[in-house]
Amino acid sequence: KRRDDEELEVVQQRLSRNPTPNRTPVHTSVLSGKKLEEHLRGHKVRVRREFRMEKEIFCKLVELLHNSHLLSNARDITLAIFIFCLATNARNRLLQEQFQHSGETISRYFNIVLQAIVSLPSKIIKLPPINTPFLISSNP
């Protein structure tokens, strides 16, 4: 028990001298921050493959969220991360590599867009009609 106390004291002394150890950036790609720009300026097939939607639809969704003041302070990359995640079932680590952000940033961006999408006005999100068509209801 005494040895544990001594080891703990040594660790505490080292941490007090250097509270943050030397950190090396993980996400250092030359495309850092340019992933969305690369997609939107690239071939339309690539955008469809990555986001599962046409480039024009993506841009209209960005515009809709900005005009609704649901993503007013966020950049378009937040929506790109969200859509890419849903379209490809990507995990946080893959998103970190694809978009060159930390896991915490990816999670924060995802949640910002999720809250924006959930709070879209009901006039934009149309529910299917409740009425059952006659052919279905009359067929036992």
Report angle CA 118, 122, 124 to the nearest 5 degrees: 90
> What 3-state class would DSSP assign to 125?
coil
Instruction: Tell me, yes or no, whether 36 lies in a domain.
Output: yes
Q: Which domain holds residue 85?
A: 30-118
Residue 77 in domain: yes
33-46 pLDDT, tens per residue? 666 777 778 788 88
pTM over 0.75: no
**Digit-coded pLDDT (tens) for 87-127:** 999 999 999 888 888 899 999 999 999 988 888 876 677 77
Q: Is residue 130 part of a domain?
A: no
Report if residue 34 sits inside a domain: yes
Instruction: Compute the distance between CA of residue 4 and CA of residue 113 in angstroms, rounded to an integer.
Output: 47
90 CB-near residues (< 8 Å, 6+ apart):
84, 98
Integer Cα distance of 95 and 91 in angstroms? 6
Give the single-character DSSP code of 122: T
Distance in angstroms (rounded) separating the CA atoms of residues 78 and 85: 11
Report the distance separating Cα 34 and Cα 45, nearest Å: 18
Assigned domain for 69 exists: yes
Domain count, the chain: 1
Structural domain includes residue 87: yes
Q: Is residue 7 part of a domain?
A: no
Q: Is residue 13 part of a domain?
A: no
